[in-house]
Structure 1
Amino acid sequence: MAEGSAAPGGVARRGIVDGIVRTWAAPRRAMAERMAAGLTESRALADLMLACGLLFVASLPGARREAAALAGATGEPMVAAVAAHAFAWIAVAPLAAYGGAALIHLVARVFGAPAGFLPARTALFAAMLAGTPIALGMALLNVLVDAVPGLLPVVGLLGYAGLAGWIWLFSASLAEAEGFRATSRVIAVMLVVVVGVSAVVALVAGGI
């Protein structure tokens, strides 16, 4: 495994913020430390639910804009928009994440990954949690854009940069979890998947 390892139990003693910082600083090493400490379903689920909760918070500015487009940002439209976002992030997103992790592992198996779905789930859920600072930061920037529309192109570029950084982080974590030596190959596959999904979404949206 690349970039070192950690003593068993070391991960459990660290706080959430420290774990996020270490994941960004060296994602493969952070994942290796998790594996050395022993992967558990409860830890993976805790990462996932915390990530979804924070992503729900990051989605609230979007909920406010949706409510404002309907009938102003007060009253029932706002309640409905927030409820919809809460359902999406707290109920639907965790199920989608489990399904996505399973699909990712099945693809990794084609390239020689060992059996076992838990490492892929751990890599994805930990990457989701590590990506929440980007989501929260982008939410704040989008609030600023509402006041200063001229900043929209800059915020858009920052969003793409954040997405690229997250793809790198997740790819490195997944490469370590699935036993792949080269992170670059995982990144290449991830980029192909992202481009493919984006193309499909664009085609579907264009046909509606």
Structure 2
Amino acid sequence: MALTHNIAATYRGPGQVIRRLLDLGQREDRALAYLMGACALIFVAQLPRLSREAHLTGQDLNMLMGATLMAWLFIAPLLFYAIAFLVRGIGRVLGGQGDAYGARLALFWALFASTPLILLHGLVAGFIGPGLEMQIVGLVWCCVFLWFWIGGTIAQERRP
């Protein structure tokens, strides 16, 4: 299935999409591509906010973009791998049947599938600025991300 179809299907049922992705076999390159794609899209989503911040404060936009690029494309993936490792450990303690690849895939796919809302959040942050609207979009993204991640994690932990 195409990425866009899988993303749309995730909004209907994250567990089914994770099971379908796991049925394709263990491919670490696929999981890493989801993670790096999500991190790249999150970086792009930050650009309107960074532009606004640079304009209002007089800071150098290139410095802000460089720091954000470093954070999202080099540091964040390492943190997401560590988070997936910890979640898999918790799943093992609780008697889950999943594996480390499934835990990584559930987290990385949840992040990737929720990027449309992150892009919306970036637009709101850049064009409207801090306020109630940005907080609402951020809360919606957080809830959707957690729904995708928890649903995907439960689905992969219940696999035989």
Q: What is the alpha-carbon distance in structure 2 between the residues aligned to residue 118 and residue 85 of structure 1?
A: 28
The Cα RMSD (Å) is 1.8
Q: What is the alpha-carbon distance in structure 1 between the residues aligned to residue 77 and residue 135 of structure 2?
A: 27
Post-superposition CA distance 1:13-39 (Å, at most 9, x none): x22211111111111111111122213
- CA positional deviation for 1:62: 2.8
Residue 167 (structure 1) aligned to one of 127, 146, 150? 146
Structure 2 unaligned spans of 5+ = none
- CA positional deviation for 1:111: 0.7
Residue 113 (structure 1) aligned to one of 96, 110, 130? 96
> TM (normalized to structure 2)?
0.91
Higher RCO (C-alpha under 8 Å, 6+ residues apart): 2
Structure 1 unaligned spans of 5+ = 1-13, 181-208
Whether the 8 Å CA contact 1:39–1:122 is kept in 2: the answer is no
Q: What amino acid maps onto 1:175 in structure 2?
A: I
Q: What is the alpha-carbon distance in structure 1 between the residues aligned to residue 151 and residue 92 of structure 2?
A: 17
Q: What is the alpha-carbon distance in structure 2 between the residues aligned to residue 142 and residue 62 of structure 1?
A: 5
Q: How is 1:52-201 mapped onto 2 (pairs within 5 angstroms)?
A: 52-68=39-55, 70-72=57-59, 77-114=60-97, 116-146=99-129, 152-179=131-158
Residue 41 (structure 1) aligned to one of 28, 39, 47? 28
Whether the 8 Å CA contact 1:138–1:159 is kept in 2: the answer is yes
Q: What is the alpha-carbon distance in structure 1 between the residues aligned to residue 125 and residue 85 of structure 2?
A: 32
Q: What is the alpha-carbon distance in structure 2 between the residues aligned to residue 58 and residue 85 of structure 1?
A: 11
Whether the 8 Å CA contact 1:31–1:176 is kept in 2: the answer is yes
Aligned length, in residue pairs: 159
